[in-house]
Structure 1
Amino acid sequence: MPRHTLPSLLLALACCQPAWALSGEMVVIVSARNATDALRADQVADIFLGQSGRFPDGAQASAVDQPIGAAQRDAFYLKVAAKSPALLKAYWTKMIFTGRGQPPREVPDSAAVRRLVADNPGLIGYIDRDALDASVKPVLVVR
Protein backbone atom coordinates (compact mmCIF):
# COMPACT_ATOMS: atom_id res chain seq x y z
CA MET A 1 0.00 0.00 0.00
CA PRO A 2 1.50 3.39 -0.94
CA ARG A 3 2.40 5.65 1.94
CA HIS A 4 -0.08 8.41 1.12
CA THR A 5 -3.02 6.00 1.00
CA LEU A 6 -3.12 5.26 4.75
CA PRO A 7 -3.66 8.90 5.86
CA SER A 8 -6.29 9.29 3.15
CA LEU A 9 -8.04 6.14 4.34
CA LEU A 10 -7.99 7.29 7.98
CA LEU A 11 -9.38 10.69 6.99
CA ALA A 12 -12.14 9.03 4.98
CA LEU A 13 -13.08 6.80 7.93
CA ALA A 14 -13.15 9.77 10.32
CA CYS A 15 -15.49 11.62 7.97
CA CYS A 16 -17.89 8.66 7.95
CA GLN A 17 -18.25 8.59 11.75
CA PRO A 18 -21.66 9.61 13.07
CA ALA A 19 -21.59 13.12 14.58
CA TRP A 20 -22.21 11.80 18.10
CA ALA A 21 -19.11 9.59 17.92
CA LEU A 22 -16.95 12.67 17.41
CA SER A 23 -18.64 14.84 20.02
CA GLY A 24 -17.58 15.36 23.61
CA GLU A 25 -18.93 13.66 26.68
CA MET A 26 -22.55 14.09 27.65
CA VAL A 27 -23.83 14.36 31.19
CA VAL A 28 -27.28 13.82 32.60
CA ILE A 29 -28.15 16.80 34.78
CA VAL A 30 -30.53 17.90 37.49
CA SER A 31 -30.93 21.28 39.16
CA ALA A 32 -28.28 22.21 41.72
CA ARG A 33 -31.25 22.39 44.14
CA ASN A 34 -32.20 18.74 43.51
CA ALA A 35 -31.27 16.30 46.30
CA THR A 36 -30.19 13.58 43.83
CA ASP A 37 -26.41 13.27 43.49
CA ALA A 38 -26.09 10.21 41.23
CA LEU A 39 -28.26 7.95 39.09
CA ARG A 40 -27.62 4.68 37.30
CA ALA A 41 -28.19 4.47 33.54
CA ASP A 42 -31.24 2.22 34.03
CA GLN A 43 -32.83 4.78 36.38
CA VAL A 44 -32.25 7.54 33.84
CA ALA A 45 -33.66 5.37 31.03
CA ASP A 46 -36.78 4.63 33.10
CA ILE A 47 -37.44 8.35 33.59
CA PHE A 48 -36.83 9.25 29.93
CA LEU A 49 -38.97 6.33 28.70
CA GLY A 50 -41.87 7.17 30.99
CA GLN A 51 -41.47 4.05 33.11
CA SER A 52 -40.79 6.07 36.25
CA GLY A 53 -41.83 9.56 37.25
CA ARG A 54 -39.75 9.72 40.42
CA PHE A 55 -36.19 10.26 41.56
CA PRO A 56 -34.83 7.64 44.01
CA ASP A 57 -35.82 9.85 46.99
CA GLY A 58 -39.44 9.84 45.79
CA ALA A 59 -39.46 13.38 44.40
CA GLN A 60 -41.28 13.98 41.11
CA ALA A 61 -39.09 13.61 37.99
CA SER A 62 -39.83 14.84 34.46
CA ALA A 63 -37.48 14.51 31.51
CA VAL A 64 -36.44 17.25 29.10
CA ASP A 65 -35.28 16.07 25.68
CA GLN A 66 -33.19 17.42 22.83
CA PRO A 67 -34.99 17.72 19.45
CA ILE A 68 -35.67 14.77 17.16
CA GLY A 69 -32.77 14.33 14.77
CA ALA A 70 -30.19 15.91 17.09
CA ALA A 71 -26.97 13.89 17.25
CA GLN A 72 -26.91 14.24 21.05
CA ARG A 73 -30.40 12.78 21.35
CA ASP A 74 -29.55 9.80 19.15
CA ALA A 75 -26.36 9.11 21.09
CA PHE A 76 -28.07 9.52 24.47
CA TYR A 77 -30.85 7.01 23.76
CA LEU A 78 -28.49 4.56 22.13
CA LYS A 79 -26.06 4.62 25.06
CA VAL A 80 -28.51 4.92 27.98
CA ALA A 81 -31.60 3.05 26.77
CA ALA A 82 -30.19 0.93 23.91
CA LYS A 83 -32.73 2.47 21.50
CA SER A 84 -31.96 3.66 17.98
CA PRO A 85 -34.03 6.56 16.60
CA ALA A 86 -36.31 4.06 14.82
CA LEU A 87 -36.82 1.95 17.96
CA LEU A 88 -37.47 5.08 20.02
CA LYS A 89 -40.09 6.29 17.54
CA ALA A 90 -41.80 2.89 17.58
CA TYR A 91 -41.69 2.84 21.39
CA TRP A 92 -43.38 6.25 21.75
CA THR A 93 -45.91 5.48 19.02
CA LYS A 94 -47.00 2.42 21.01
CA MET A 95 -46.99 4.28 24.36
CA ILE A 96 -49.12 7.12 22.96
CA PHE A 97 -51.50 4.78 21.12
CA THR A 98 -52.11 2.66 24.22
CA GLY A 99 -52.47 5.73 26.46
CA ARG A 100 -49.54 4.71 28.67
CA GLY A 101 -47.40 7.77 28.21
CA GLN A 102 -46.18 10.83 26.36
CA PRO A 103 -42.61 11.55 25.25
CA PRO A 104 -40.55 14.09 27.18
CA ARG A 105 -40.82 17.79 26.41
CA GLU A 106 -38.36 18.84 23.70
CA VAL A 107 -36.22 21.99 23.75
CA PRO A 108 -33.84 23.27 21.06
CA ASP A 109 -30.37 22.63 22.51
CA SER A 110 -28.11 22.00 25.52
CA ALA A 111 -28.30 25.63 26.67
CA ALA A 112 -32.11 25.50 26.74
CA VAL A 113 -32.05 22.16 28.59
CA ARG A 114 -29.62 23.56 31.17
CA ARG A 115 -31.70 26.72 31.76
CA LEU A 116 -34.95 24.79 32.14
CA VAL A 117 -33.47 22.13 34.44
CA ALA A 118 -31.66 24.75 36.56
CA ASP A 119 -34.97 26.52 37.22
CA ASN A 120 -36.90 23.38 38.18
CA PRO A 121 -35.61 20.73 40.65
CA GLY A 122 -38.14 18.23 39.28
CA LEU A 123 -36.60 18.14 35.80
CA ILE A 124 -33.79 16.00 34.37
CA GLY A 125 -31.99 16.44 31.05
CA TYR A 126 -28.76 15.75 29.20
CA ILE A 127 -26.22 18.19 27.80
CA ASP A 128 -22.65 18.40 26.56
CA ARG A 129 -20.26 18.29 29.49
CA ASP A 130 -18.82 21.59 28.19
CA ALA A 131 -22.20 23.27 28.83
CA LEU A 132 -22.16 22.55 32.60
CA ASP A 133 -22.30 25.44 35.04
CA ALA A 134 -23.06 25.86 38.76
CA SER A 135 -26.84 26.02 38.18
CA VAL A 136 -26.98 22.26 37.48
CA LYS A 137 -25.15 19.16 38.61
CA PRO A 138 -24.24 16.01 36.71
CA VAL A 139 -25.80 12.78 38.02
CA LEU A 140 -24.53 10.47 35.26
CA VAL A 141 -21.72 10.70 32.72
CA VAL A 142 -22.73 9.23 29.35
CA ARG A 143 -19.80 7.71 27.47
Structure 2
Amino acid sequence: MPESTRSRAAALLALALALLGSAPRALAAQEFVVVAHPSLKVDVVKQYVVQRVFLKQADRVGGVRVTPVDQSVGSAVRDAFSKRVVRQPVIEVRRYWQQQLWAGGERPPETRTSDEEVLEFVRTTPGGIGYVSAAADTFGVKVLRVK
Protein backbone atom coordinates (compact mmCIF):
# COMPACT_ATOMS: atom_id res chain seq x y z
CA MET A 1 0.00 0.00 0.00
CA PRO A 2 1.51 3.40 -0.95
CA GLU A 3 2.43 5.77 1.89
CA SER A 4 -0.22 8.39 0.93
CA THR A 5 -2.98 5.76 0.97
CA ARG A 6 -1.82 4.49 4.37
CA SER A 7 -1.74 8.05 5.73
CA ARG A 8 -5.25 8.74 4.47
CA ALA A 9 -6.53 5.45 5.88
CA ALA A 10 -4.91 6.17 9.24
CA ALA A 11 -6.40 9.67 9.29
CA LEU A 12 -9.86 8.35 8.48
CA LEU A 13 -9.56 5.67 11.16
CA ALA A 14 -8.48 8.26 13.72
CA LEU A 15 -11.41 10.50 12.78
CA ALA A 16 -13.87 7.59 13.02
CA LEU A 17 -12.55 6.61 16.46
CA ALA A 18 -12.73 10.20 17.66
CA LEU A 19 -16.35 10.48 16.52
CA LEU A 20 -17.27 7.16 18.10
CA GLY A 21 -15.58 8.17 21.33
CA SER A 22 -17.71 11.30 21.59
CA ALA A 23 -20.99 9.56 20.69
CA PRO A 24 -21.77 8.27 24.21
CA ARG A 25 -21.28 11.75 25.66
CA ALA A 26 -23.56 13.29 23.04
CA LEU A 27 -26.23 10.65 23.64
CA ALA A 28 -25.96 11.04 27.41
CA ALA A 29 -26.56 14.78 27.08
CA GLN A 30 -29.84 14.04 25.32
CA GLU A 31 -31.17 11.53 27.81
CA PHE A 32 -33.40 12.82 30.58
CA VAL A 33 -35.53 11.75 33.51
CA VAL A 34 -38.71 13.35 34.76
CA VAL A 35 -38.50 14.22 38.45
CA ALA A 36 -41.11 15.27 40.98
CA HIS A 37 -41.38 16.36 44.59
CA PRO A 38 -41.25 13.27 46.84
CA SER A 39 -44.82 13.87 48.02
CA LEU A 40 -46.22 12.89 44.62
CA LYS A 41 -48.03 9.59 45.16
CA VAL A 42 -47.45 8.04 41.73
CA ASP A 43 -44.33 6.45 40.22
CA VAL A 44 -45.55 6.06 36.63
CA VAL A 45 -47.15 8.79 34.54
CA LYS A 46 -48.48 8.61 31.02
CA GLN A 47 -46.62 10.68 28.43
CA TYR A 48 -49.70 12.68 27.47
CA VAL A 49 -50.27 13.67 31.12
CA VAL A 50 -46.73 15.07 31.40
CA GLN A 51 -47.21 16.79 28.04
CA ARG A 52 -50.41 18.45 29.25
CA VAL A 53 -48.78 19.51 32.53
CA PHE A 54 -45.90 21.24 30.71
CA LEU A 55 -48.34 22.96 28.35
CA LYS A 56 -50.41 23.92 31.42
CA GLN A 57 -53.46 22.16 30.05
CA ALA A 58 -53.56 20.08 33.24
CA ASP A 59 -52.42 20.94 36.74
CA ARG A 60 -52.69 17.62 38.57
CA VAL A 61 -50.85 14.32 38.53
CA GLY A 62 -52.27 11.51 40.62
CA GLY A 63 -54.67 13.96 42.25
CA VAL A 64 -51.85 16.28 43.39
CA ARG A 65 -51.57 19.84 42.07
CA VAL A 66 -48.24 20.16 40.26
CA THR A 67 -46.01 23.07 39.26
CA PRO A 68 -43.83 22.41 36.20
CA VAL A 69 -40.36 23.85 35.72
CA ASP A 70 -38.54 23.89 32.39
CA GLN A 71 -34.85 23.90 31.53
CA SER A 72 -33.44 26.87 29.59
CA VAL A 73 -34.34 27.10 25.91
CA GLY A 74 -30.89 26.21 24.54
CA SER A 75 -30.28 23.13 26.68
CA ALA A 76 -29.93 19.69 25.09
CA VAL A 77 -32.09 18.16 27.81
CA ARG A 78 -34.97 20.54 27.02
CA ASP A 79 -34.63 19.76 23.33
CA ALA A 80 -34.86 16.01 24.02
CA PHE A 81 -37.75 16.44 26.49
CA SER A 82 -39.69 18.67 24.11
CA LYS A 83 -39.31 16.26 21.21
CA ARG A 84 -40.06 13.06 23.15
CA VAL A 85 -42.63 14.14 25.74
CA VAL A 86 -44.23 17.34 24.50
CA ARG A 87 -43.86 15.95 20.97
CA GLN A 88 -42.91 19.32 19.53
CA PRO A 89 -39.54 20.96 18.95
CA VAL A 90 -38.64 23.74 21.38
CA ILE A 91 -39.34 26.42 18.77
CA GLU A 92 -42.94 25.19 18.45
CA VAL A 93 -43.38 25.11 22.22
CA ARG A 94 -42.12 28.69 22.39
CA ARG A 95 -44.59 29.68 19.66
CA TYR A 96 -47.38 28.01 21.64
CA TRP A 97 -46.48 30.10 24.71
CA GLN A 98 -46.31 33.32 22.68
CA GLN A 99 -49.84 32.63 21.44
CA GLN A 100 -51.04 31.87 24.98
CA LEU A 101 -49.59 35.13 26.29
CA TRP A 102 -50.99 37.14 23.39
CA ALA A 103 -54.46 35.67 24.00
CA GLY A 104 -54.27 36.38 27.74
CA GLY A 105 -53.91 32.69 28.60
CA GLU A 106 -51.53 30.83 30.85
CA ARG A 107 -47.94 31.86 31.39
CA PRO A 108 -45.22 29.31 30.53
CA PRO A 109 -43.56 27.29 33.28
CA GLU A 110 -40.68 28.96 35.07
CA THR A 111 -37.26 28.05 33.74
CA ARG A 112 -34.02 27.12 35.44
CA THR A 113 -30.59 27.13 33.87
CA SER A 114 -29.22 23.80 35.09
CA ASP A 115 -30.09 20.36 36.36
CA GLU A 116 -29.07 21.44 39.86
CA GLU A 117 -31.46 24.42 39.79
CA VAL A 118 -34.34 22.26 38.51
CA LEU A 119 -33.63 19.67 41.21
CA GLU A 120 -33.55 22.37 43.92
CA PHE A 121 -36.89 23.75 42.70
CA VAL A 122 -38.48 20.28 42.63
CA ARG A 123 -37.07 19.31 46.06
CA THR A 124 -38.35 22.47 47.74
CA THR A 125 -41.66 22.98 45.92
CA PRO A 126 -44.50 20.66 46.93
CA GLY A 127 -45.93 19.48 43.62
CA GLY A 128 -42.81 20.51 41.71
CA ILE A 129 -42.18 18.56 38.52
CA GLY A 130 -39.34 18.93 36.03
CA TYR A 131 -36.79 17.03 34.01
CA VAL A 132 -33.02 16.71 34.21
CA SER A 133 -30.30 14.86 32.37
CA ALA A 134 -30.13 11.16 33.14
CA ALA A 135 -26.68 11.62 34.69
CA ALA A 136 -27.93 14.13 37.31
CA ASP A 137 -27.91 13.23 41.01
CA THR A 138 -31.62 12.81 41.74
CA PHE A 139 -31.24 12.33 45.50
CA GLY A 140 -34.18 13.89 47.33
CA VAL A 141 -36.64 13.80 44.41
CA LYS A 142 -38.87 11.13 42.93
CA VAL A 143 -37.91 9.87 39.48
CA LEU A 144 -41.04 9.20 37.46
CA ARG A 145 -41.34 6.59 34.78
CA VAL A 146 -43.06 8.08 31.74
CA LYS A 147 -44.90 5.59 29.55
Same fold (TM over 0.5): yes
**The one of 15, 28, 31 aligned to 1:8:** 15
Residue 90 of structure 2 corresponds to residue 61 of structure 1? no
The 3 A distance-change label for structure 1 pair 90 and 10 is farther
Residue 95 of structure 2 corresponds to residue 109 of structure 1? no
User: What is aligned with 2:45?
Assistant: 39
Secondary structure of the residue that 2:49 maps to in structure 1? helix
Question: Residues 7-35 of structure 1: CA distance to partner in whole angstroms, max 9, x if unpaired?
Answer: 525746887x8x86452631101112221
The 3 A distance-change label for structure 1 pair 14 and 95 is farther
Deviation at 1:6, TM superposition (A): 5.0
Partner Cα distance (2:19, 2:136) in 1: 30
Identity %: 28
Residue 112 of structure 2 corresponds to residue 127 of structure 1? no
Q: State the TM-score, normalized to the length of structure 2.
A: 0.79
**The one of 68, 93, 100 aligned to 1:95:** 100
Larger Rg computed on CA atoms: 2
Asked whether the 8 Å contact 1:117–1:124 carries over to 2, the reply is yes
Amino acid at match of 1:60: R
Partner Cα distance (1:13, 1:92) in 2: 38
Q: State the TM-score, normalized to the length of structure 1.
A: 0.81
User: What is aligned with 1:48?
Assistant: 54
Question: Residues 16-65 of structure 1: CA distance to partner in whole angstroms, max 9, x if unpaired?
Answer: x8x8645263110111222121111111111001111111x322111011
Asked whether the 8 Å contact 2:45–2:145 carries over to 1, the reply is yes
Deviation at 1:105, TM superposition (A): 0.5
Partner Cα distance (1:33, 1:119) in 2: 11
Greater fraction of residues in helix: 2
Question: Residues 89-131 of structure 1: CA distance to partner in whole angstroms, max 9, x if unpaired?
Answer: 2111111111221110111211111111111231100012222
